[in-house]
Amino acid sequence: MVIVTTTDLPPTLRPPADPHSPRPADEDASLVPPALAVRPEVLLLDFGGVVFETRKRPEGMTDAAALVADVLGRAGHAVAVDDIAESMRAGTKALTHWKHAMGRTQRPAELTHRMLWEEFLLADQSEPVRATAAAAGARLMELINPLLNDHLVRDGAEDLLRTAREAGIRVGIVSNAHAGRAHRRLMREHGLERFVAVQLYSDEVGVRKPNPEMIERAARALGSVPQHCWYVGDTQDRDVQAGRRAGVGAVLLTRSKHTDAPPFGVRDTADLVVDAPADLVAVLREAAPRGPSTGGPDAGGPDATAATAPPSAPAAAPRRRPRALLLDQGGVLTTSEKRTDGLAALARETAARLRAAGHQVPDLAMADALARGREAYAEHKAAETDTVDRTPVAYEVDARTFWGEMVAPGFDAGARSWLLAEAEDLNHRYARAKSTARLRDGVADLLRWCRANDVKVGVVSNTICGRSGRERLERAGVADLIGVHLYSDEVGRRKPDPAIVAEAVRALDVDPADCWFVGDKPWRDVAAARAAGVGTTVVVRGGAPDGDALAASLGEHRPDLLLASMTDVHDALRSAADAP
């Protein structure tokens, strides 16, 4: 391994033959590692230890536990902050051991956010507590990330990014992370996102370093191959091994607290170790320009073939007050308006980002691909339901399936890889672009009444982006009145499958027979609720189905209550609560 410090660098770059001794002052400058003699086509950087350094906040775990306690409290689970903090400390220690163990394996997968909370961070808490945290798993990881650690841009990181851009070198982030959303936000807030063409975070792509697939995916996403990339990390067990397994052109390390203390011996070595990203600026500048690149086997633009009033409600209203109220979101809590202009803007923006990553995708081709993806998703929903033992089974499409299999087929492998790498972020942008939403009249009063009367509340919604759904309720000022959010893209199942309803019941720790479920589509909402054993089903008018569609669906899936508005739902609850 070559050790280079700041003082060892310009005006000459001459790493010592012995990594543990100083470089002689008159050593020949030609001894730059051969792997660094020619500039890379792509520069791949780790996030922590390279672009940012993290410093633990002394009060961080207590602050994080307080936030988690607040979320649990909304679902009716009173757990002391100190108790949560103790669980999270134990879980974090276990998680550290798991990460070290994964560093010894060949192709490790990443934990899901649900597994993080259920199997590690809150593993010794009750099942309802674990289920509630798991339901908000990704959001909780995003929120506690800045509470646990301060993040500082490392010396020279921005200069390195700017130097790469000036040299025409595409840049990607390749990072093990349990809160990729938080890392994307930090990149944006510090003005670094503009230098980066793709970001891969392990919680978004499902694999983690030293699995070489992380680097292979990033290279493909940037229209290249690992052999034409430099990879910069800070750890031997994860970064050096991932780089060597992927066959990158060069592996470099920027020294951090982890660099010289791997959890076990590592045979692979880096081509160069420096103190800080600032030390790599001269390395990059003094490397010879790369000749015309052929990129990866599928580099370039798209393939040449790419193409471019219902019946009245039942007379008898249920009189039993529920312990929990389960609510659909779209059409029940909120109404939405489609934004065709937003989708057009998203297509242009995505095409521009693809071109910045080296894929010559015209705006029109991206717009056509997005339209085809939307059609494919609509077909999936229309033919969504199987049955097992007469129970509906319906799987949801996740972000990678939507962007990688429904939107991307007309593009070459490189562009498809980029779409897969950015799928989680693209999905969030897509959800915001395709529609706007507002609360239905009466919703805020209903939710406040539930809080005041100890009726637990859960959201159970089919959606391609639960993250956007949460944000809409946060902006409306009612998110803190909801105990648990179950979104189909996060659970993996969609109504009429009762599994998503059962997960809400598990999190709220109630008997489904003691719940009301309010939806707007009988064939999904009533079917899912009844299959899950929910005691009372309610359909509210004014949602997505028009009058004829609603009327046609009421034969097989007629609800216990068919109401005109959310105010009527509120009145029905009060009536049940007041009944003897």
Residue 347 is assigned to a structural domain of this protein: yes
The answer on 379 and 413 residing in a single domain is yes
The answer on 563 and 466 residing in a single domain is yes
pLDDT of residue 212: 98
Over pLDDT 90: what percentage of the chain? Answer: 82
Residue 295 domain-assigned?
no
Quick one: 491 and 547 in the same domain?
yes
Closest C-alpha among 241, 185, 182 to residue 214 = 241
Q: Please tell me the predicted confidence (pLDDT) of residue 292.
A: 62
Tell whether 247 is covered by a domain: yes
Measured CA to CA, the distance from residue 485 to residue 491 in angstroms comes to 10
pLDDT at residue 143, as a whole number:
98
Residue that wins the pLDDT comparison between 304 and 196: 196
Same domain, 181 and 276: yes
First-residue to last-residue Cα distance in the chain: 79
Is residue 171 very low, low, confident or very high in pLDDT (cuts 50, 70, 90)?
Answer: very high
Based on the domain organization, do 83 and 38 belong to the same domain? no
**157 and 268 housed in the same domain:** yes
Q: Is residue 391 part of a domain?
A: yes
The pLDDT of residue 290 is 81
Are 75 and 14 contained in the same domain? no
Same domain flag for 43 and 172: yes
Residue 308: inside a domain, yes or no?
Answer: no
Q: Domain ends where: 261, 286, 311?
A: 286
Which pLDDT band, with edges at 50, 70 and 90, does 544 fall under? confident
Q: What local confidence, expressed as pLDDT, does residue 33 receive? A: 86
User: Using one digit for the tens of pLDDT, what is the confidence trace for 490-510?
Assistant: 999 999 999 999 999 999 999
Given 98, 115, 148, the domain boundary residue is: 148
pLDDT at 22: 33
Residue 374 has pLDDT above 60, yes or no: yes
On whether residue 310 sits in a domain, the answer given is: no
- Measured distance CA(191)–CA(405) in Å, rounded: 32
- CB environment 68-81: b (16+ within 10 A), e (fewer): bbebbebbbbebeb
User: Mean pLDDT for the chain?
Assistant: 89
CATH of the domain at 275: 3.40.50.1000
Lowest mean pLDDT among 3-17, 287-301, 402-416, 470-484: 3-17
pLDDT at residue 576 in the model: 87
pLDDT band for position 304 (cuts 50, 70, 90) = very low
Note the pTM of the prediction, 2 decimals.
0.82
Measured in whole angstroms, the distance separating CA 390 from the mean position of its chain's CA atoms is 33
CB 399 within 8 A of CB 424: yes
Q: Answer yes or no: is pLDDT of 301 > 70.
A: no
At residue 550 the predicted structure's pLDDT band, cuts being 50, 70 and 90, is: confident
CA 482 to chain centre: 21
Q: Answer yes or no: do 396 and 353 share one domain.
A: yes
332 in the same domain as 476 = yes
Q: For residue 257, what are its two tokens? A: 């607290």
Decide if 298 is inside a domain.
no
Q: Is the pLDDT of residue 1 over 50?
A: no
Query: Comparing 2-11, 33-42, 367-376, 385-394, which segment has the lowest mean pLDDT?
Result: 2-11
Confidence of residue 130 (pLDDT cuts 50, 70, 90): very high
Boundary-marking domain end, from 148, 179, 211: 148
Taking residues 453-465, what's their average pLDDT? 97
Flag whether 303 is in a domain: no
Residue 110: pLDDT band with limits 50, 70, 90: very high
Per-residue pLDDT tens over the stretch 2-27: 444 433 444 333 343 333 333 333 34
CA 549 to chain centre: 35
Please report the pLDDT score of residue 579 as a whole number. 55
Q: Are residues 447 and 485 in the same domain?
A: yes
User: What mean pLDDT comes out for the span 239-261?
Assistant: 96
Same domain, 572 and 467: yes
Are the CB atoms for 209 and 106 separated by under 8 Å? Answer: no
Count structural domains, the chain: 4
C-beta of residue 280 within 8 angstroms of C-beta of residue 254:
yes
What burial letters (b/e) apply to 228-250, b meaning 16+ CB within 10 Å?
A: bbbbbbbbbbbbbbbbbbbebbb
List the domain range (segments joined by +) for residue 247. 6-22+31-53+150-286
Q: Where are the alpha helices (DSSP H) in 453-544?
A: 466-475, 488-491, 499-508, 527-531
pLDDT recorded at residue 543: 84
Whether 105 has a pLDDT exceeding 70, the answer reads yes
